[in-house]
Amino acid sequence: MICVAFDIGNQNSYTGAIINECPEVIPSEYGGRSIPTCVSIRPTYRIMGNVAKNEMSLNLDTTFLNFKHLLSPDANLKEWDKYLFGKSLHIENGKLAFHLNYQNNQIFIEPLQLYASILKHLKSNVIKMCPDNKTFTEMILTCPHFFDKTQRQYMVAAAKIAGLPDPIILNENQALALTYSDSQCSGLKIDKHVLFLNIGHSHLDVTLFQFYGKLATDTPVILLKKEKFSLEVGGIYFDEVLVKHFVDAFRNKYKIDVKENSIEYLRLLNECESVKKKLENGSENVVLRLDNFLGIEEVTGEINKMKFNGLCGHLYNIIKNTIFRVLEETNCMTADIDDIILAGGSSRIRKISEIVKEIFKKDPLTTINQEEAVALGAIIYSQRKAYFLETGNNVEGIIYKNEETLDSELAKYQARKDQNNISFLRGAWNCFCSTIGKFFGCCYGSRKSSYDKMNSKQMNHTKVDQEYELEERRNSKSDIPCDALAAYIKQEEQFTKDEEIHQNIGKKHNDLEDKVIYVLDLMEEIKTLDPNQNLNEFSIKANQLEDWLRAENFNKNIADYQIKEIYIEEVEKSLNTLYGSITK
């Protein structure tokens, strides 16, 4: 039995778990710490993760990336259409869906099902890497704080489709706060202001937390002062800047238009990501080379760090403006910020650290792993209680993990109320907990929002100053109709069944390849023997080969499973030359 936390990103996913009483990230079966958030639907089976990503160029039309923000039917299609690499979304029964041919049938696959596929793959990876823990006692899913009620409902539904327990939904910035709190070995300073700058693959998130230390039971008390986001900054946008630079360079130098070929465009995008990482690691000048590119034997282009930073100036300005908006709306001076934490893979760009130092006159802390921090914080949350307080007019919201010590903890917390200017209404908390808290396995504090209630359909996610009614972003039971959910589960069962069939065929292929190699090795040994000098040994090996071929029905197996032609040709050639000697 194991408790897991899944941080599903737009590009990569991470899994947190408690191993030997310590929070750790579970590696993939291929050895890496991350698993690509990638799903490929083949004509007869489905593959996910590393294999799907590695073979994407061969199956571009049916391989899906960047679908995390498409969970909601109200997703901004114009914004994400260019990252679907030619695949078109349809509106099917009021929902977004991709049109595919599967098992000789025309089917529609929704982003919800793709999300569930990744959850299923992460679940399988946990079972492979931790074979003694096949039962999940609890599961936590993380999401950006700006995900609305519909998106969170779809996450809950995806867990059901994947055969996982009902999840606890935790905001990514809350998980980061817990990772930071856990990293403070010398103790968490009371009244400490910490700014978190999270730049993932597809969005920017700036959050200011005020830490009030820890209670007697090691429970951190954390006040959310302000959170801002932008969907106009992220790793994919830095990559896009590089792609545009090289597309223009290749058009001028080689008279080719990369955008006309989706496969080559994807290839260039992947290479640009490598170029970005080299620039992140301190390279002043990077040369990009592509062989056999659009009919040209080799194309080359280069970019230096100064040019890259100049092209990304508009992205850096959004980062600066978002930070200043958070400080302005909380009446904080830069000197009031005790620590700055960078998170997300794209925060490794050196210019971002320079921006932080320029604003706050101090370097950001490097005490947490930028890519794994969210998954680690989520699994820490499963083991330790935490108060997350949110600013409001009258009542502060509280997330609490364990009801057993509630009264004593609240008494201690109430004693801090006047000192920290935090108001708390016990009756409202009891009312809200009794109706909703039990379902989600955690308790929520009700509060009166300082914002006007907004319809999520009218929200413009691209604006940095977007505010949300917090109750609309809480965990909620899936509103997807039972018949629709049953249809999703049935389709998932069919995918799973077809995957097992494909894996069994693949295993037979691998076994047969091993047998072919055995035959070839045996033939090579026979070739080295001289029947006149080693008659007994030659006869024994020749008889072994003949008996094995007859017993295994070798030729029929080759025809059935269509092993690589190189094996077939070599075996047939060897058989023709040796069969006469074997039968003598």
Q: Over the stretch 11-70, which tens digit does the pLDDT of each residue have?
A: 999 999 988 888 899 999 888 899 999 999 988 889 999 999 988 888 888 899 888 888
Instruction: Answer yes or no: is pLDDT of 580 > 90.
Output: no
Q: With H, G, I as helix, E, B as strand and everything else as coil, classify residue 26.
A: coil
Interhelix angle 554-561/565-583, nearest 10 degrees: 170
This prediction's pTM: 0.75
- pLDDT score of 429: 32
Give the separation between CA 24 and CA 502, rounded to whole angstroms: 32
- pLDDT score of 142: 95
Enter the CATH code of domain 172-229+331-454+462-472: 3.30.420.40
More confident residue, 186 or 169: 169
Distance between alpha carbon 403 and the CA centroid of its chain, in Å? 32
- pLDDT score of 432: 31
First to last CA, the chain: 62
Give the separation between CA 243 and CA 236, rounded to whole angstroms: 10
Instruction: Answer yes or no: is pLDDT of 501 > 70.
Output: yes
Average pLDDT value for residue range 460-464: 32
Q: In the chain, pLDDT over 90 holds for what percent of residues?
A: 38
- pLDDT score of 467: 36
Q: How confident is the model at residue 399 (pLDDT cuts 50, 70, 90)?
A: very low
More confident residue, 218 or 406: 218
Q: In what order do the strands lie in the sheet with 220-230?
A: 339-343, 190-199, 204-214, 220-230, 387-390
- pLDDT score of 234: 93
* Torsion angles phi and psi, residue 193, rounded to 5: -95, 125
- pLDDT score of 78: 62
**Both tokens assigned to 77:** 């299609």
Q: How confident is the model at residue 541 (pLDDT cuts 50, 70, 90)?
A: low
What is the residue-wise DSSP string for 167-193? PEEEEHHHHHHHHHHHH-TT-PPEEEE
Residue range 218-261, pLDDT digits in tens:
677 788 899 999 989 999 999 999 999 999 999 999 999 998 88
- pLDDT score of 20: 80
Q: Which of 416, 418, 414 is CA-nearest to residue 406?
A: 414
Q: How confident is the model at residue 418 (pLDDT cuts 50, 70, 90)?
A: very low
Please, what CATH class does the domain formed by 235-313 belong to?
alpha beta
Q: Say if CB 382 and CB 314 are below 8 A apart.
A: no
CA 476 → CA 200, 269, 436, 443, distances in Å?
25, 38, 8, 12
In this structure, CATH architecture of domain 2-166: 2-Layer Sandwich (3.30)
Q: How many CB atoms lie within 10 A of CB 75?
A: 19
DSSP for residue 131: T
Instruction: Please count the residues of the chain.
Output: 584
- pLDDT score of 386: 64
Q: With H, G, I as helix, E, B as strand and everything else as coil, classify residue 363.
A: coil
User: In the chain, what are the domain boundaries?
Assistant: 2-166, 172-229+331-454+462-472, 235-313, 500-583
**Both tokens assigned to 509:** 């292929």
Least confident segment among 75-79, 145-149, 288-292, 574-578: 574-578
Instruction: Answer yes or no: is pLDDT of 581 > 90.
Output: no
Average predicted confidence (pLDDT) for the chain: 76
Q: In the chain, pLDDT over 70 holds for what percent of residues?
A: 65
Two domains, one topology: 2-166 and 172-229+331-454+462-472: yes
Q: With H, G, I as helix, E, B as strand and everything else as coil, classify residue 36.
A: strand
